[in-house]
Structure 1
Amino acid sequence: MKLKNKNFLFLSPLLIAFFSVITYWIGYNQHKKNNDVFNKWKTLDKNIGLKKISDYEKLLYILSTIEEKYVDSVSTKNLLELSIKNILKDLDPHSQYMPYETSKASTEILDGHFGGIGIRFMIIRDSLVVINAIKGGPSYRAGIKKRDRIIEVNGKNIASVGLQNADVLKLLKGEITSNVSLTIFSPKTNTKKKIKIKRGIIPLNSISASLLLNPKIGYIKLSNFSNNSEIEIIEAIESLKKNGMEKLILDLRFNGGGYLHAAQGVANQFLDKNQLIVYTEGVNSKKREFYANEDGVFKDGELVVLVNSLSASASEIVCGALQDHKRAQIMGRRTFGKGLVQEPITLSDKSEFRITTSRYYTPSGKCIQKPYGKNVNYDDDIYQRMDNGELTTNVFLKDSTKSKQYGEGGIIPDIFIPIDTSTSTISFNEFLYTPTLRDFCFDYYEKNQEQDQGVFDNIMNFNKNFFVNDKMVQNLLLNTETIKMENLIESEIEELKWRIKGEIASYYFNENSKYLIYSTEDLDISTAIKYISNTK
């Protein structure tokens, strides 16, 4: 019996996984007893065995036997989804299966809109706090204000311990034109009110920031490549040009990609008509070439593109095209190295699988996909870059004969900018991404509404006249166990000061304000400013 069980455990994952994809395609479900194909194999003579039937038929027989004889009850749905995930994962790192809810969330981001009420919010100490209502959106029209708290949704109290972003989104999002009832608490008037809001089309902007860093240098941070990205970047560039921009820094750091056509549209804005942007090709996919279909709106101005190890996919398409055509200086660290193209296929239950159909190549013919497969720890590659010194030393000098030992794939920047590891401990860096700093800054903003209007009437005055002192840093660290003021070195204290200042600015003004504050302190941005300021 033990030997039999061992053989079963060894064989079943692969066989069931393969079977699951096939049966999913033909609509296999819990009512299998009504399925003629399934019933055929239920009547197999067990003494004959399986020697004259196909592999597909073997799999049907195995699954039917498992469900009839396995010691515990088996969930076909769970077994199915796990099996599909494992099959696709075994093909390559980027083919994947997504249940409907996951697929829907992913698609909303890249489609650039969803059905909702139109607020930017944060969860602060288990309360849903409105940071701002999108101008012209459902909440704006309903009179919801900055700093309001939403305490009930459709009669359900949400001001509770453990409130998560996912919980909030599930309640506030819904079909466009559907209604949602909210109870709002206003700290300004100390009153509660109930309102009904009709959900609308809420845009998801792919541009996080667009501003002038000085009278001639513009800055655009693009967070993903969605259906709206081309339109957004055209509008941002045109607006900055009207305000005097002559040179541009395009920030693609941490941009994990998106739609290929969006990458084409963004790259197009910096190129001449008919210049090749990217081409794709696969064993079962014919070669397809993607060109700039018109002259770009910023095809001549000085351009720097910032990248890091998490700039991937569509970001690398843009970087590869601009680098090959010598249109921009790519600055930062080697990009992620995702050069595989996935085709999304929606199934009858609205779940989705994305299968790799081709590789993409830069205009010069380079495929930037990093190695994967057996004996390759694909997910740990980013950490290995830190360990082998790649993020702190320029190991990709053109005359270097050792660069391969550091890894392959990705776009190698024209100008390397190292990360600074000498001033920050792991615990310090982890602290920067906890809610503690964010909550502290919002508390300051709420408690200091009646500030000198000479300081807070615009971001330029704020940047010039608002200072964060040591006492504020001490207050920030009062309730944290991970780092203490006395253990920090001077550079870490200074970083906390400019991060506090930027976060507070974002509440008084907008996200652009944060990036304006950061621009003089962020090593990548300040290096790009210095470089582009010295170009003609």
Structure 2
Amino acid sequence: MNEQHKNTARQIYLPMVLAAVLIAGMFIGRITNPSGNGSSGQRLMLAPESGKLQTIINLIDEQYVDSVDASKLVEDVIPEVLEGLDPHSVYIPPKDLKAANQELEGNFGGIGVEFSMPDDTVMVVSVVSGGPSEKVGILPGDRIITVNDSVIAGVDMPTNDVVGMLRGDIGTKVNVGVQRRNRKDLIDFEITRGNIPMYSVDVSYMVTDSIGYVKINRFARNTYQELLSALAKLKAHNCSDIIVDLRGNSGGYLDIAISMVNEFLSKGDMIVYTEGVNNPRQDVYANGSGSCKDIGVTVLIDEFSASASEIFAGAMQDNDRGLVVGRRSFGKGLVQQQFSLPAGGALRLTVARYYTPSGRSIQKPYDNGVEDYYHDIIERFEHGEFFEKDSISVNDSLKYKTVGGRTVYGGGGIMPDVFVPRDTTDHSDYYYRLRETGTIYQFALEYADRNREELSAFENVKTLKNHLDQQDISNQLIEFAKTKDVKYHHSDFQRSKNLIDLETKAYIARNILDNEGFYPIISEEDEVLQKAIELIQTNNLEAVLFENQSEEIPAEITAEN
């Protein structure tokens, strides 16, 4: 890649990276909650009249010249107190606590649909099997026009507001008016909200006759059981190697990560250890009961793999159990425990650091505050780390040894054994414009809905993809894009044609077969996954693992300080 092209790619790509960093930073900061004992934490008792802080609040409440809301003062002060600690010690106000816990507990009360909102109308994309909506007869493609007495179609309503109207306590009822294709009148449904699972294993399938693939989006309360089901499914297909995809996974429960790692390690292998000033060191070892001790494993990570994802990848790497492929992970080596507060809300407080089996703390520095902490990923991008392995900065004083004698590094995320750069050679301005405006997704949704009866006849992704390959998808997308004010650019389209075509078909397949349709198609352009498959098929795993056992920096992560 020449310098001019790199600069152009980075100029185009930087806004997307900035947006991704902002979203991921907020998510990692709020949702990660590795609790060693798996509980919601001890109740933090605060004596109502103790300490200077409480005294000041009381004096303001009782003596200040104007009336004040003392409870609001407390709410405002708590984040200020935590700001000087670390980026992951956070206060969760009472109004946000339920939603924050739902992300990790793995379920919520709702009607059991996934929806999109093209043209300000709620359209059902998929229906949870066995869920409340399926039981009353709601179908993919239905438009929800009314919820109880409110018309929501054609109204500029935030997605979160719609979610708030459809979700609710289990057992409560909600009335929805649905418009169905080819029917003029609304269909009224009374739905009793039920327990809706939030799946953390996005997909599991065989990428080749012998290699299985599992994509995990977080380490929630139900993730371990989901992984066991996925592994059983893959082993039933005579899987000899498994690729565990943790890219974009910002973490979750520590005990769940430990249980998952245990499935792959032999008895006595260290998984992780934790230690803090007020929490004595605790070593955790595999107990030998794992179901995949004899199956090859490769872990995929990227710059948004954090916390529990790094525990998993670090354990595989330090025990020389398998390769880590991709790009340097986020660098979160802190353990939080959640404490309930007397007046509602909760405190997720950092109580320990975790260390990989070799003794590495992979926590990146946070001395300069939260903003600089999350800005680190942007600096990596600008420094060229996403594109060239030689741009990865490592601290040469933080060398550690794996079980097999390989050199690994601490102090800033998990370094991959095999670095795979972002490939932007087929990215163009026209492609980015299609992505930025959501045009590809909207077209795929409309195409799937318009052809749902025909497409639903295909029972697997292979036959569906073969059918889509015979359709004039690209030209239809181009014409659709023009209606969304995305001007066609011929040379850009030719450069990105394969990528645009593949993404469009993958999103169409998702609307018909869910993730079982999406991932097998999109994986054809997934350079990290394809590299992992290549390493397994060419038997290069062991060669890469043990080609560097000296004091020198491993070839795959050579860098300048």
Shared fold, TM over 0.5 = yes
Q: 1:306–1:331: 8 Å Cα contact kept in structure 2? A: yes
Of residues 306, 325, 328, the one that matches 2:322 is 328
- For residues 359-417 of structure 1, give each alpha carbon's deviation from its aligned partner in whole angstroms, at most 9, with x where no partner exists: 0000111001000113781121111111111111113789996999x994100000000
- For residues 319-348 of structure 1, give each alpha carbon's deviation from its aligned partner in whole angstroms, at most 9, with x where no partner exists: 011111111110000000000111111113
Worse-superposed segment, 462-471 or 526-535:
462-471
**1:436 matched to 2:439:** yes
> RMSD between aligned alpha carbons?
2.9
- After the TM superposition, which residues 34-183 of structure 1 pair with which residues of structure 2 at under 5 Å, given as runs? 55=52, 59-60=56-57, 63-64=60-61, 68-69=64-65, 74-183=68-177
Provide the C-alpha distance between the structure 2 equivalents of 1:61 and 1:398, rounded to a whole number of angstroms: 50
Q: Cα gap change, 1:492/1:82 in structure 2, threshold over 3 Å: closer, same or farther?
A: farther
Q: What SS does structure 2 have at the residue aligned with 1:395?
A: helix
**1:381 matched to 2:376:** yes
Q: 2:61–2:70: 8 Å Cα contact kept in structure 1? A: no
Matching residue of 1:256: 250
Provide the C-alpha distance between the structure 2 equivalents of 1:121 and 1:469, rounded to a whole number of angstroms: 23
Q: What SS does structure 1 have at the residue aligned with 2:191?
A: strand
Which ranges of structure 1 fall in alignment gaps of 5 or more residues?
Answer: 1-22, 28-36, 39-53
- For residues 2-35 of structure 1, give each alpha carbon's deviation from its aligned partner in whole angstroms, at most 9, with x where no partner exists: xxxxxxxxxxxxxxxxxxxxx99445xxxxxxxx
- After the TM superposition, which residues 104-503 of structure 1 pair with which residues of structure 2 at under 5 Å, given as runs? 104-374=98-368, 377-395=372-390, 408-424=411-427, 428-429=431-432, 431-432=434-435, 434-449=437-452, 451=454, 456-467=458-469, 469-481=473-485, 484-486=488-490, 488=492, 490-503=494-507
Give 2:481's aligned amino acid: L
Q: CA deviation at 1:179?
A: 1.6
Q: Cα gap change, 1:452/1:352 in structure 2, threshold over 3 Å: closer, same or farther?
A: closer
Q: CA deviation at 1:473?
A: 3.7
Q: 2:269–2:286: 8 Å Cα contact kept in structure 1? A: yes
Provide the C-alpha distance between the structure 2 equivalents of 1:178 and 1:294, rounded to a whole number of angstroms: 45
Q: What SS does structure 1 have at the residue aligned with 2:309?
A: helix
Of residues 511, 525, 531, the one that matches 1:521 is 525
Q: Cα gap change, 1:167/1:497 in structure 2, threshold over 3 Å: closer, same or farther?
A: same
Q: 1:113–1:204: 8 Å Cα contact kept in structure 2? A: yes
Q: Cα gap change, 1:147/1:398 in structure 2, threshold over 3 Å: closer, same or farther?
A: closer
Q: 2:428–2:492: 8 Å Cα contact kept in structure 1? A: no
Number of equivalent positions? 485
Q: What SS does structure 1 have at the residue aligned with 2:421?
A: coil
- For residues 90-109 of structure 1, give each alpha carbon's deviation from its aligned partner in whole angstroms, at most 9, with x where no partner exists: 21111111112322112112
TM-score (normalised: structure 1):
0.83
Which ranges of structure 2 fall in alignment gaps of 5 or more residues?
Answer: 1-43, 400-408, 541-561
Q: Cα gap change, 1:333/1:449 in structure 2, threshold over 3 Å: closer, same or farther?
A: same
Provide the C-alpha distance between the structure 1 equivalents of 2:182 and 2:286, rounded to a whole number of angstroms: 52
Q: CA deviation at 1:86?
A: 2.0
Q: Cα gap change, 1:360/1:427 in structure 2, threshold over 3 Å: closer, same or farther?
A: farther
Q: Cα gap change, 1:302/1:278 in structure 2, threshold over 3 Å: closer, same or farther?
A: same
Worse-superposed segment, 217-226 or 478-487:
478-487
Q: What SS does structure 1 have at the residue aligned with 2:335?
A: strand
Q: CA deviation at 1:480?
A: 4.3
Q: What SS does structure 2 have at the residue aligned with 1:488?
A: helix
Matching residue of 1:4: none
Provide the C-alpha distance between the structure 2 equivalents of 1:61 and 1:510, rounded to a whole number of angstroms: 55
Give 1:445's aligned amino acid: A
Matching residue of 1:535: 539
Provide the C-alpha distance between the structure 1 equivalents of 2:537 and 2:500, rounded to a whole number of angstroms: 27
Q: 1:118–1:202: 8 Å Cα contact kept in structure 2? A: yes
Give 2:414's aligned amino acid: I
Matching residue of 2:509: 505
Give 1:414's aligned amino acid: D
- For residues 169-228 of structure 1, give each alpha carbon's deviation from its aligned partner in whole angstroms, at most 9, with x where no partner exists: 211211111222222221243442222222111111101111111222111100000111
Q: Cα gap change, 1:80/1:379 in structure 2, threshold over 3 Å: closer, same or farther?
A: same
Q: Cα gap change, 1:191/1:266 in structure 2, threshold over 3 Å: closer, same or farther?
A: farther
Q: CA deviation at 1:535?
A: 2.2
Q: What SS does structure 2 have at the residue aligned with 1:168?
A: helix
Q: What SS does structure 2 have at the residue aligned with 1:385?
A: helix
Q: Cα gap change, 1:348/1:243 in structure 2, threshold over 3 Å: closer, same or farther?
A: same
Give 1:531's aligned amino acid: L
Matching residue of 2:37: none
Q: Cα gap change, 1:487/1:100 in structure 2, threshold over 3 Å: closer, same or farther?
A: farther
TM-score (normalised: structure 2):
0.80
Worse-superposed segment, 282-291 or 78-87:
78-87
Give 1:523's aligned amino acid: E
- For residues 113-167 of structure 1, give each alpha carbon's deviation from its aligned partner in whole angstroms, at most 9, with x where no partner exists: 1111111211221111111211111111111111112222222222132222211
Q: CA deviation at 1:464?
A: 2.9
Q: What SS does structure 1 have at the residue aligned with 2:350?
A: strand
Q: 1:395–1:403: 8 Å Cα contact kept in structure 2? A: no
Q: 2:166–2:174: 8 Å Cα contact kept in structure 1? A: yes
Worse-superposed segment, 520-529 or 156-165:
156-165
Provide the C-alpha distance between the structure 2 equivalents of 1:170 and 1:524, rounded to a whole number of angstroms: 37
Provide the C-alpha distance between the structure 1 equivalents of 2:512 and 2:284, rounded to a whole number of angstroms: 43
Provide the C-alpha distance between the structure 2 equivalents of 1:58 and 1:198, rounded to a whole number of angstroms: 48
Provide the C-alpha distance between the structure 2 equivalents of 1:490 and 1:387, rounded to a whole number of angstroms: 28
Q: What SS does structure 1 have at the residue aligned with 2:186?
A: strand
Larger relative contact order (Cα-Cα within 8 Å, sequence gap ≥ 6): 2
Q: CA deviation at 1:69?
A: 2.5
Identity of aligned residues (%): 34
Provide the C-alpha distance between the structure 1 equivalents of 2:128 and 2:296, rounded to a whole number of angstroms: 33
Provide the C-alpha distance between the structure 2 equivalents of 1:479 and 1:279, rounded to a whole number of angstroms: 56
Larger Rg: 1
Q: 1:127–1:163: 8 Å Cα contact kept in structure 2? A: no
Give 2:382's aligned amino acid: D
Q: 1:332–1:417: 8 Å Cα contact kept in structure 2? A: yes
